[in-house]
């Protein structure tokens, strides 16, 4: 019996942590708050359209398992000991991280190969829903065997220090993970010489643009920062929003800041700041903020962007109100599907200085962890090895629109998907030794909040770049005192 839903409601209650047995008593209905991804009708710049967003609703829930779980229960077992492996991930069917169809196919093969095991799967919305649920579960002492979440960096360091994570080093030795993962990915997921997570999908940031509108306006992909400002001027003159931008959730501006630092400072500057070896208030970061403010002054972004939702910004691009949107691989499946055929292309922001190569921000979208309290460590590690096995690369790439993190270069030309996807993946992967680790998925939680709030303030003009960067330094010092600054690992 396969219990599966095309959308998943994420319960913000500890009842989610309990595994409901198939033969147990019928659950008592209860009214709780859930976070649900829904389609809603909105008016964007005078046009009524359908957008996808997350809302809180009150619901009476009776059959919790049937709503949030995907559990493969075999009709017959092979007579061995039955083990239940509980897995949490964020692979949905649309929106961010829409690799649900790919993982379903992989799970079908896993279940066939493990007839005596039950795979209990919970799917959470990408971003904060999965992270918040994991942190609640870890601190309560009732976590799933395996969870696929973020962040690495300082987040992993803090989890490992607290003893929440199982050391995966023996399994990396057993399964040969060292030969499958690049050094930058290992550094982000190790602590004190031990591997604590298996990073899987690579997250990259670039610009999606509408080729029809660019042709209409006589624009070409910008080759300099001056070209970017000219693009904004031409688009505004023609009545278009140059770059759709929604920053009400605060993380988009944090990503754009990281992107710009990659161009004004480069990878080493990013590493020094993230490791707490350098101040945030340094010329390269001031330069990055100044260029973002130049873009605000040039009206490059959606008016009132700090109050605009990310989904509304995407809708603005899809409906042709904006010439482009500056985001990344996390929504590539939806962008390709929602942009008129033949009208989509991408480019990475152009190089600014001759001595700093073109680059962007990157990180693992998330990583697989094993809870230190699991009763099934070997089975959990076998599961991680199975779903990340090279045999499934084609499935993850073609059906999941993901960039699996691999040490060896991937031959993108052999895959049957939209050429825009291949272009985004191949260029970004070619720059992986130059890219800056995403700030908000690497720093400690208190620094993340300073980053989010500070970037909103800087872009609105309420906070000066210097005051914002000084606040980042202050919060980083506090994180250091708590042992929550990223300490890159190595073998």
pLDDT of residue 6: 32
Is the backbone peptide bond immediately before 385 cis, with ω within 30 degrees of 0?
A: no
Q: Beta strand 83-89 with 146-149: parallel, antiparallel or unpaired?
A: parallel
- Tokens representing 478 are 């506090």
Least Cα distance to 314 among 29, 50, 19, 28 occurs for 50
Q: What is the largest CA-CA distance in the chain?
A: 72
Strand partners, 195: 190
Q: Which residue has the tokens 């270069």?
A: 409
pLDDT of residue 26: 36
Per-residue burial over 135-168, b if 16 or more Cβ lie within 10 Å, else e, is bbbbeeeebbbbbbbbbbbbbbbbbbeeebbbbb
- Tokens representing 244 are 């759709």
Please, which residues have CB within 8 angstroms of residue 76's CB and are 6 or more apart in sequence?
A: 115
* Per-residue pLDDT of the chain in tens (491 residues, 90 and over written 9): 333 333 333 333 333 333 333 333 333 333 333 333 334 344 444 444 444 443 433 333 333 333 344 444 444 444 457 899 999 999 988 766 778 999 999 999 999 999 999 999 999 977 778 989 999 999 999 999 999 998 778 888 889 999 999 999 999 999 999 999 999 899 899 999 999 999 998 889 999 999 999 999 999 999 999 999 999 999 999 999 999 999 999 999 999 999 999 999 999 999 999 999 999 999 999 999 999 999 999 999 999 999 999 999 999 999 999 999 999 998 888 899 899 999 999 999 999 999 999 999 988 878 999 999 999 999 999 999 999 999 999 999 888 888 899 999 888 888 877 889 889 989 998 898 999 999 998 999 899 999 999 999 999 999 999 999 999 999 999 999 988 888 877 67
Least Cα distance to 215 among 181, 240, 194 occurs for 240
CA atoms of 151 and 131, how far apart (whole Å): 8
Q: Which residue has the tokens 């190790």?
A: 190
The domain segmentation of the chain, as residue ranges, is 203-363+417-481
pLDDT of residue 365: 78
- Domain 203-363+417-481 top-level CATH class: alpha beta
pLDDT of residue 15: 34
CA atoms of 123 and 99, how far apart (whole Å): 11
CA atoms of 71 and 52, how far apart (whole Å): 27
How is 236-250 classified by DSSP, letter by letter?
HHTT-EEEE---TTS
**Mutual orientation of helices 283-297 and 267-274 as an angle, nearest 10°?**
110
pLDDT of residue 95: 66
Question: Whole-model pTM?
Answer: 0.80
Tell me if 60 sits within 8 A of 31, measured CB to CB. Answer: yes
Q: Which residue has the tokens 């989509």?
A: 344
């Amino acid at each position: 019996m396969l219990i599966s839903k095309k959308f998943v409601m994420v319960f913000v209650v500890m009842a989610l942590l309990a595994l409901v047995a198939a033969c147990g008593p019928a659950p008592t209905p209860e009214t709780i708050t859930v976070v649900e991804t829904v389609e809603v009708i909105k008016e964007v710049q005078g046009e009524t359209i359908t957008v996808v967003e997350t809302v809180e609703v009150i619901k009476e829930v009776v059959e919790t398992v049937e709503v949030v779980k995907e559990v493969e229960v075999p009709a017959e077992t092979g007579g061995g000991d039955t083990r239940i492996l509980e897995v949490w991930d964020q692979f949905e069917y649309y929106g961010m991280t829409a690799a649900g169809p790919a993982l379903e196919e992989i799970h079908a093969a896993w279940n066939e190969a493990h007839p005596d095991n039950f795979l209990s799967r919970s799917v959470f919305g990408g971003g904060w829903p999965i992270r918040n649920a994991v942190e609640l579960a870890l601190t309560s002492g009732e976590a799933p065997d395996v969870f696929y979440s973020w962040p690495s960096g300082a987040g992993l360091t803090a989890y490992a220090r607290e003893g929440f994570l199982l050391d995966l080093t023996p399994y990396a030795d057993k399964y040969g993970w060292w030969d499958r993962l690049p050094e930058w990915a290992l550094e982000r997921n190790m602590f004190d010489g031990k591997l604590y997570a298996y990073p899987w999908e690579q997250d990259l940031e670039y610009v999606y643009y509408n080729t029809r509108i660019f042709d209409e306006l006589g624009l070409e992909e910008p080759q300099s920062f001056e070209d970017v400002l000219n693009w904004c001027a031409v688009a505004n003159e023609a009545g278009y929003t140059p770059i759709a931008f929604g920053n009400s959730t605060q993380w988009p501006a944090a990503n754009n800041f990281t992107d710009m630092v990659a161009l004004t400072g480069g990878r080493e500057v990013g590493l020094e700041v993230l490791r707490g070896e350098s101040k945030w208030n340094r010329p390269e970061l001031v330069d990055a903020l100044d260029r973002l403010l130049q873009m605000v002054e040039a009206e490059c972004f959606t008016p009132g962007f700090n109050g605009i939702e990310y989904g509304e910004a995407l809708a603005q691009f899809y409906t042709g109100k904006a010439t482009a949107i500056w985001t990344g691989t996390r929504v590539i499946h939806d962008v390709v599907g929602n942009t008129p055929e033949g009208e989509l292309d991408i480019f990475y922001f152009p190089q600014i200085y001759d001595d700093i190569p073109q680059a962007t921000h990157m990180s693992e979208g998330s990583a697989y962890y094993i809870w230190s309290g699991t009763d099934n460590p070997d089975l959990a590690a076998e599961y991680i090895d199975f779903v990340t096995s090279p045999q499934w690369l084609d499935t993850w790439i073609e059906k999941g629109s993901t960039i699996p993190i691999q040490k060896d270069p991937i031959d993108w030309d052999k895959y049957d998907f939209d050429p825009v996807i291949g272009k985004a993946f191949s260029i970004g992967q070619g720059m992986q030794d130059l890219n800056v680790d995403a700030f908000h998925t690497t720093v400690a939680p208190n620094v993340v909040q300073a980053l989010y709030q500070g970037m909103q303030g800087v872009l609105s003009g309420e906070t000066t770049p210097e005051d914002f960067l000084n606040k980042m330094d202050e919060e980083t010092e506090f994180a250091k005192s708590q042992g929550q600054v990223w300490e890159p690992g190595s073998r």
